[in-house]
Amino acid sequence: MATTTKRATKATAKKPAASRTAAAKRVPAADRAEVAAALKAVLLRHSKGLHVEDGPRGTSVSSTFEFRGRPMWLAGVQLAKSYVSYHLMPAYMFPDLLDGVSDELRARMQGKACFNFRTVDPVLFRELEALTRAGFARFRADGPAHLAKFEKR
């Protein structure tokens, strides 16, 4: 018994929902640049004595402490198509830093150490700045000892 399959043609094929809504969610480059500049300012205020590197897609901060032969990457601001990401590795290394984080900032989290923003939010950026300050201080105090546990692996 032969079965027939129905093939989608250009007229009957539907676009996936994600592609229809992606253009609607895309943030204009000027707005992303404003968000990136504000997040970069937060990052740079606490980067004294650390290695800062700027590139076309964002800014990264590394420690002077080497882990497995390379400087330890600590934080960064990254531009994507529809948002700007703020990565903070001390939040991953020391999860207790996130204990007092507001629900609003936690809602911006993607994973364990990344926060995504589409607009400038002064209240959340102040909270993120306090988290960055605490995270960098904790890394300076405990980071090398914490990483030494993983060096021999």
Distance CA 133, CA 112 (A): 17
Fold (topology level) of 27-151? Aspartate Aminotransferase, domain 1 (3.90.1150)
Specify the pLDDT at position 114: 96
Specify the pLDDT at position 9: 54
Q: Domain ranges in the chain? A: 27-151
Q: pLDDT tens-digit profile of 46-90?
A: 988 888 999 888 899 988 777 777 778 889 999 998 999 999 999
Place of tokens 């079965």: 3
Distance CA 153, CA 135 (A): 25
Residue 128 backbone phi and psi in degrees, to 5: -65, -35
Collect the ranges in the chain with pLDDT lower than 50: 18-24
